[in-house]
Amino acid sequence: MDNSNVLTALLLTVFAGLATGIGSTIAFIARRTNTKLLTVSLGFSAGVMIYISFVEIFAEAKEGFMEIFGEFRGNLFALTSFFGGILLIALIDRFIPSFENPHEMRSLEELKKRDKDKNHDKLYRMGIFTALVVAIHNFPEGIATFMTAMNDPAMGIAIAIAVAIHNIPEGIAVSVPIFYATGDRKKAFLYSFLSGLAEPVGALLAYLLLMPLLTAGNTEIIFASVMAAVAGIMVFISLDELLPSAEEYGEHHWGIYGLIGGMAVMAVSLLLIG
Is residue 47 within 8 A of residue 53, CB to CB? The reply is no
224-267: pLDDT as tens digits: 898 899 899 989 988 887 888 777 666 678 889 989 999 998 88
Predicted confidence band of residue 133 (pLDDT cuts 50, 70, 90): confident
Q: What is the pLDDT of residue 154?
A: 82
Q: Is the pLDDT of residue 127 over 80?
A: no
The CA distance from 83 to 63, in Å, is 17
The CA distance from 156 to 16, in Å, is 10
Q: Per-domain residue ranges for the chain?
A: 3-30+40-273
> Which range among 23-37, 53-67, 162-176 shows the weakest confidence by mean pLDDT?
23-37
The CA distance from 43 to 26, in Å, is 19
Specify the DSSP class assigned to residue 102: T
Mean pLDDT of the chain: 80
- Tell me which residue of 137, 196, 165, 168 sits closest to 261, measured CA to CA: 165
The alpha helices in 95-242, defined as continuous H runs, are 108-116, 120-151, 153-182, 185-195, 198-214, 219-237
Q: What is the pLDDT of residue 196?
A: 86
6-47: pLDDT as tens digits: 888 889 999 998 888 888 887 777 666 566 777 888 888 889
User: Who has greater pLDDT, 273 or 270?
Assistant: 270
The CA distance from 144 to 134, in Å, is 15
- Tell me which residue of 192, 186, 187 sits closest to 102, measured CA to CA: 192
Q: What is the pLDDT of residue 115?
A: 52
